[in-house]
Amino acid sequence: MSLKRVAVDSDIILDHLYGSASPSVLRRLMRAFFCYTTVFQAAEVLSRARTPFELHAMQDAMGAMKLLGVNARGATRYAEMLRKSRSPDRWTVMVAGLCLESKLPLVSGRVREYRRFRELLLIPPRLIRPGATGEEILAEARTRE
């Protein structure tokens, strides 16, 4: 059985670094899924580093994830999404586009920000229960759409 794949939003990574939950949602995710994040989310997380120690901790937290980047092939899709979006937050559009292009659901505590992208499967952190399998989490997220 192979691990299911998900993209992890920056809020989940930052909560892992600064939150008090143990184990963090990110740790539970990594037990159930093969995790990705986007170059935009990585930049957002790394921009918060104020010391070399914090930067190292952030890089370490994302070290086991694959990083999704933008390529020319997706430019037309992103342009269309940006044209249709009325949000000044272009990063949300780009993150959603990368997840859609990669066919990955997004785990995010900011579900409201991404809800306008109807094709994007969103997984709120509350579904990442201890001991739940990736299949169980995905099935529950699909039923809540």
User: What domains, with CATH codes, occur in the chain?
Assistant: 4-143 (3.40.50.1010)
pLDDT of residue 50: 95
Task: Give yes or no for residue 77 having a pLDDT over 90.
Answer: no
CA-based nearest residue to 58, from 125, 21, 13: 13
| 82 or 126, greater pLDDT | 126
| 1 or 26, greater pLDDT | 26
- Sheet of strand 33-38: strand arrangement: 66-68, 33-38, 4-8, 106-107, 122-123
Supply the Cα-derived Rg of the chain in whole angstroms.
15
Task: Give yes or no for residue 145 having a pLDDT over 70.
Answer: no
β partners of residue 106:
7, 122
pLDDT of residue 74: 77
Residue 70: pLDDT band with limits 50, 70, 90: confident
pLDDT of residue 7: 98
Question: Going along the chain, which residue ranges are E strands?
Answer: 4-8, 33-38, 66-68, 106-107, 122-123
| Beta-carbon-side half-sphere exposure of residue 103 (alpha carbons within 13 Å) | 1
Task: Give yes or no for residue 87 having a pLDDT over 80.
Answer: no
Cα distance between residue 88 and residue 76, in whole Å = 19
pLDDT of residue 58: 94
pLDDT of residue 83: 83
Using an 8 Å Cβ cutoff, are 15 and 107 in contact? no
Averaged pLDDT for residues 116-133: 93
pLDDT of residue 90: 84
What are 129's two structure tokens?
Answer: 């229960």
* Residues in contact with 85: Cβ distance below 8 Å, sequence separation at least 6, in sequence order: 93, 116
pLDDT tens by residue, 5-41? 999 999 999 999 998 888 999 999 999 999 999 999 9
Cα distance between residue 114 and residue 126, in whole Å = 16
Using an 8 Å Cβ cutoff, are 42 and 54 in contact? no
